[in-house]
Structure 1
Amino acid sequence: MSQSLLDYLIENEPAFRKARLPALYSDFQTQRTLNPDGYQANVAAWRKGLARIVGSGLAPAGRAAASNLFVLHSDEQLLRALESKQYGRPLALGAVVREALAAKDLVPLREFLDAKESIYRRPWSVWNLATWTMKQLGVADMLKKDSLPPGEFVVLANVEDAGKAFSERNAAAPPTQTRFERTFSKAHFYRAFNDQLVDGKHLSETDMEVLLRFLSRDKAAILYDGATVKITSPSAQEPPHITPEDTSIAQLKELLFSLTHQTALLNARIELLATQAKQAVAKSNRVAALAALRSKKLAESTLERRFATVAQLEDVAAKIEQAADNVQLVSVMEASGAALASLHAQVGGAERVEEVVGRLREQMAEVDEVGVILADASAVGGVVVDEGEIDDELAGMEREAEEAEREKRRKVEEAEREKREAEERREAEEMRRRLEAAGEVPSGGLGEKDKEKETEVEDLMSRMTLKGTPERQNA
């Protein structure tokens, strides 16, 4: 056990490298005045190491049934667990614990649970000032023993880490969570969060009590009265304490969980009894089969009643949620009404609005009147424009546009005519070449193909004559 605990520190704490183990296991209290930096380094290493072994669940549990993740059991068993065959026991561990107690890194368990004010509040008193002065002078250490202070001490660093994990988990939850969803009994809260905050490790009941006190008193993340837990919500307008309604909600949710658990057990029992009855029938054991069937019937009847009760409780829960929503809605409406009243008061009522609008209209009318006067003054001293000249100029521009359009059409028509004439000349030249190629007409008369060709030539010549007639007449 002891060697494995030291090996765990060597593997997980950088300060516990093997080269430093002789110094860490030595009685380094004398270095407090001779080598203050070395002393503080050794104390810091052991404080982190103790927090690490407590958070891992490997620290001795003392008289507790299971190890705590937030509470250090300081006793002889802790020294034996840290003892090494090579280095012996850590001789200055008592000084480390006392330093941690003075710095409030370790807090006695009973003091932590009973504290009414935040543990972060450290008022200065005459005794505290005198103790601090003696500590700085080294007198206080001379008055203390070197032995390990016995007791149970809350490791504040571990609690703070769990509180941070809870806050992150709560921040990731939907912002629309209802009051019903944020309220738990202590047992229900323990079941919901005991393995969600420290790397999947299960918190002990002592750990959960420490965490609940820390979250409610020191972080104001929850409300807690010892039996009921309610997660606070910045957006919800709720009393800053546990109300009877919260207690009723927590008890209802706890009862619903218990009945739901019972229905699961009854379902399993019914299935088991049905199997036993079948086995008894297979073995021709009529008495055992009847007994199993009777028990099964009773379990089914009980299950039916449990389901009916669960349905009633779920209906009650829905009504409670609806009523809570109605309360919040009425509160919002009341606040909205007050805001509207304040805004109306700032406006000054309908009469003041009419007065302001009337003055605004008067000022706008004066602006329009001044504008008309200025426009008239500009007309008197400016240049008079002759509308007739403008009309004549516009008519001239329109004529120019029409002439340009006609010229454009004329050019297009001329281009098309030249194109046609070029085509006709090409066809005439083609006919001339064909006639020259045909030569004399054969003496035997014209064949069918020659007649068709002659007809084609005559048609072409006639078309050329018809097309060329207007041009020759014009010439």
Structure 2
Amino acid sequence: MDTRPSCPTLLALPPWSSASPSRLQSVYSDILRQKESNPDSYQANIRWWHKALESLARSGIQQEKSTFVISVGPVLMTLLRVQGVGKPLALPTVINELRAQQVLHPKLAFLTQRKSIYDPSPLTGRIAAYALSTFWWSLEQLGVAGEDGLNSTAQDHMDASWWGDYVVVPMVASAADALIAKHPHDHCLTSVLYSVDELKDQIYSVLGAADGLLDDDADILLKFLQRNRSAIVMDGEVVKFTNLDAGIGKITVVDRGVLELKTSVRHLRAQVFQLQRTMDEYTSKACDSLQQNQKQAALSYLRVRKHIEQLLHKRLESLETLQAGLIDVEDALGNRQLMKAYQASTATLQSVLSYPSSHDKSVAKILGALQEATKNAKELEGLIRVGWSSAPEGRVEMHEFEAEINAELETLAALEEDIDTVAERLENLSLKPPTEKPQMPELEGATSRLLYGSASKVKGLGTTRPVALEG
């Protein structure tokens, strides 16, 4: 299948470069019915088109004035056409869906809208977008719409409300964050005040030509910084970076005066640079004339160079004066800020000292009460120590019982050894049946010796027990 695009460079752009023919057929077909029947596939196709439109805008193959803007219409349908796949029938649904997700925003509304573009769109707008998508699907079912979008018989009746120039909002937001991150945060007036042209030059230098910034990019970016990031305030040709922590400020007469000084210094520096280049050129021309033995021409070049040198000295003196004035203004503004800080700290200190507890009488009364309480605490502590030292007889000392406890432990240990000895002797004793009738007195004596021969009294028990046997 031949999937060559109408634009040769389109196939080299992501995500076209990595898409298979079957994938292109899937994303190029009408995906409106997938929104209900297969939501996962529908959202995957929307994400594919999101990346595709950003890549298309960044490539610059469509727009000549801005890389933040894509122009949607018949030209884009033709540009995106792929042989064997056709034109992107999904594009109307994609545009409406990305508008609802705040990925795309109409350019005219972006530049004129006062409220944030992230505010929810009115209900009527969402209903109109849904009705447009439904209308497009109905035309296809009736055979009015085809591979090329619409048949020629219906082009005069086509609803083209989704056509137009759209700002790719994520690209603008990324550029705005990069500019804010690289901007100095010292809040010095010379660092936060710009003319519109000067700030545009800074935008180009910070983001660089590699980002493809064109004519309309700076206007779109400034509008986004002012309205959606609250990073700048604008009044005519005056632009001021604000302190994001302190909220949006305003441009004052002092700001305009400082900007005028700053602009004059900038212009004088440019003149000085140009005069120095011109002097170098005339010097080079004079040297070349001398080498060619053209003394009159060389003398003429040197005279012009002398006049330029005198003008350069005047411009340098003016530049020095303006720079000194700008430094004095910054110094005065810094002193004003310090005076405000001193005034605030003085008011705070006076407010603290105005509390009733800070008065002389109150302080003396509190310190006296503290001394009295400390004295009473020490007296109470002394009484407690005296009472403790005078009552040793009534206390029970543990060391008095230590000797008695140790004696009991020794007795129990000895008793345990005697019991072990008796048990051992009983195990070694062998019993034999008598061969003759024993005499009763002897038997009684032996039994008595066996049972009670080595008995001992256990202290505290009050009974006599056999603890050993005689062999």
One of 3, 7, 29 as aligned partner of 2:8:
3
Q: Residues 86, 238 of structure 1: CA spacing in aligned structure 2 closer, same or farther, 3 A cutoff? A: closer
Distance 1:47 1:354, change over 3 A: same
Q: 1:286 to 1:86 in 2, by over 3 A?
A: farther
Does 2:215 match 1:205? yes
1:147 to 1:52, Cα distance in 2 relative to 1, 3 A: same
Query: How far 1:107 moved relative to its partner?
Result: 1.2
Q: Determine the structure 2 residue equivalent to 1:284.
A: 293
User: Are the structure 2 counterparts of residues 7 and 379 from structure 1 closer, same or farther at C-alpha, using a change threshold of 3 Å?
Assistant: closer
Asked if the contact 1:43/1:96 (under 8 Å) is kept, the reply is yes
Change (3 A) 1:207 1:133: closer
**Is the CA contact (8 Å cut-off) linking 1:71 and 1:155 kept in structure 2?**
yes
- CA contact under 8 A between 1:113 and 1:213: conserved in structure 2? yes
1:240 aligns with 2:249: yes
Question: Helix, strand or coil for the counterpart of 1:311?
Answer: helix
Question: Are 1:104 and 2:102 an aligned pair?
Answer: yes
Equivalent residue in structure 2 for 1:151, among 154, 164, 173: 164
Deviations 1:54-74 (A, max 9, x none): 123x2312xxxx341211122
Q: Percent identity, please.
A: 26
Q: Write out per-residue CA displacement over residues 412-446 of structure 1, whole angstroms, 9 at most, x where no aligned residue.
A: xxxxxxxxxxxxxxxxxxxxxxxxxxxxxxxxxxx
Shift, 1:124, TM fit: 4.8
Q: In 1, distance between residues paired with 2:158 and 2:50?
A: 19
Partner of 2:232: 222
- The alignment's TM-score, normalised by the length of structure 1, stands at 0.69
Q: Is the 8 A contact 2:81 2:87 kept in 1?
A: yes
CA-CA distance at 1:130 after TM superposition: 4.9
Taking the aligned partners of 1:3 and 1:35, their CA distance within structure 2 comes to 33
What are the within-5 Å matches in structure 2 for residues 148-187 of structure 1?
A: 149-170=162-183, 173=184, 175-187=185-197
- Correspondence list, 1:29-40, <5 A: 29-40=32-43
**Match for residue 25 of structure 2 among 17, 22, 25:** 22
Matches of 2:87 and 2:77, distance apart in 1: 6
Task: Provide the rounded CA distance (Å) in 1 between the counterparts of 2:331 and 2:186.
Answer: 14
2:231 and 2:244 in contact (8 A); partners too: no
SS of structure 2 residue aligned to 1:50:
helix
Query: Alignment partner of 1:152: what SS?
Result: strand
1:60 is aligned to 2:79: no
Matched, 1:117 2:115: yes
Q: Give the Å deviation of 1:277.
A: 1.1
Question: Following TM superposition, by how much is the alpha carbon of 1:112 offset from its aligned partner in structure 2, in angstroms?
Answer: 0.9
Q: Is the 8 A contact 1:212 1:224 kept in 2?
A: no
Give me the whole-angstrom Cα distance separating, in 2, the residues matched to 1:28 and 1:87: 15
Q: Deviations over 1:125-145 (max 9, x none)?
A: 5x3575588689x46965995
User: Which of 48, 51, 54 is the equivalent residue of 1:48?
Assistant: 51
**Alpha-carbon spacing, 1:41–1:199, altered in 2? closer, same or farther (3 Å):** farther
SS where residue 250 of structure 2 aligns?
coil
Q: Structure 1 regions of 5+ residues with no counterpart?
A: 384-475
Q: Describe the shift of the 1:52–1:133 C-alpha distance in structure 2 as closer, same or farther (beyond 3 A).
A: closer
The residue that corresponds to 2:367 in the other structure is: 357
- Offset of residue 333 of structure 1: 1.8
Tell me, in whole angstroms, the C-alpha distance in 2 between the residues paired with 1:82 and 1:107: 20
Does residue 338 (structure 1) correspond to residue 351 (structure 2)? The answer is no
SS across alignment from 1:188: helix
Aligned residues, how many?
370
* Distance across 2 between alignment mates of 1:9 and 1:250: 44
- Partner residue of 1:89? 87
What RMSD, in angstroms, separates the aligned Cα atoms of the two structures? 3.2
Contact 1:70–1:159 (CA under 8 A) maintained in structure 2: yes
1:250 paired to 2:259? yes
Distance of 2:71 and 2:130 partners within structure 1: 29
Deviation at 1:26, TM superposition (A): 3.2
Secondary structure, aligned partner of 2:336:
helix
1:327 maps to 336
1:46 Cα deviation from its structure 2 partner:
1.4
The letter for the 2-side match of 1:183 is L
What CA distance in whole angstroms lies between the structure 2 residues aligned with 1:289 and 1:133?
78
1:266 pairs with 275, 286, 291, which one?
Answer: 275
Q: Is the 8 A contact 1:117 1:217 kept in 2?
A: yes
Q: What is the letter of the counterpart of residue 253 of structure 2?
A: P
Counterpart of 1:46, as a letter, is: W
The one-letter code of the counterpart of 1:228 is V
